[in-house]
C-alpha cells in the first residue's frame, strides 16, 4: 500500500470520505448522536410503545418500555448523547415513573 504524503489527509483516507472541521462539523456530529439515540427509544414511546429487552454489561436482562431506563443502561461515549442520558436520569429522579425522556 502506498501513501501519498503530498496529498495530506485525503491521501490517507478511503475514497468517498467526509472530513469536517470546526463548529459546523461538531454541530453535525452532535445532531447525528441525538438522532441515533432517538432511533433507539423511538419504538418505546406512545400508546403503541413496545417493550425492549436490554442486556447490560453485567449480562442482566431488563424488559422495559421506559426510555429513561433504556438510555441509562446504554454505554454512551459521545458528549452530546451523554448529556441527553444525564438529562433523562435527572428527569427520572425529579418526576419519577413514566417520564419517557420527553
Contact 89, 55 (CB under 8 A): no
Say which residue, 56 or 96, is predicted with more confidence.
Answer: 56
For residues 33, 63, 72, 44, the Cα torsion angle rounded to the nearest 10 degrees is: 40
Q: What is the pLDDT of residue 41?
A: 86
Q: Dig out the grid coordinates for 33 from the structure.
A: 448522536
**Looking at residues 2-16, what average pLDDT do you find?**
62
pTM for this predicted structure: 0.68
Compute the distance between CA of residue 49 and CA of residue 1 in angstroms, rounded to an integer: 50
3-state secondary structure of 64: strand
Residues 6+ positions from 45 with CB-CB distance below 8 Å: 67, 100, 102
Residue 35's pLDDT band, with cuts at 50, 70 and 90, is very high
Under the banding of pLDDT at 50, 70 and 90, the label for residue 94 is confident
Higher pLDDT: 11 or 68? It is 68
Amino acid at each position: 500500500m502506498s501513501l501519498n504524503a503530498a496529498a495530506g489527509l485525503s491521501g490517507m483516507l478511503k475514497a468517498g470520505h467526509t472530513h469536517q472541521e470546526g463548529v459546523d462539523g461538531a454541530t453535525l456530529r452532535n445532531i447525528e448522536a441525538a438522532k441515533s439515540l432517538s432511533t433507539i427509544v423511538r419504538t418505546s414511546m406512545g400508546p403503541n410503545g413496545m417493550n425492549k429487552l436490554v442486556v447490560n454489561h453485567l449480562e442482566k436482562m431488563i424488559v422495559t418500555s421506559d426510555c429513561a431506563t433504556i438510555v441509562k443502561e446504554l454505554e454512551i461515549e459521545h458528549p452530546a448523547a451523554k448529556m441527553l442520558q444525564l438529562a433523562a436520569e435527572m428527569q427520572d429522579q425529579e418526576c419519577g415513573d413514566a417520564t419517557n425522556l420527553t
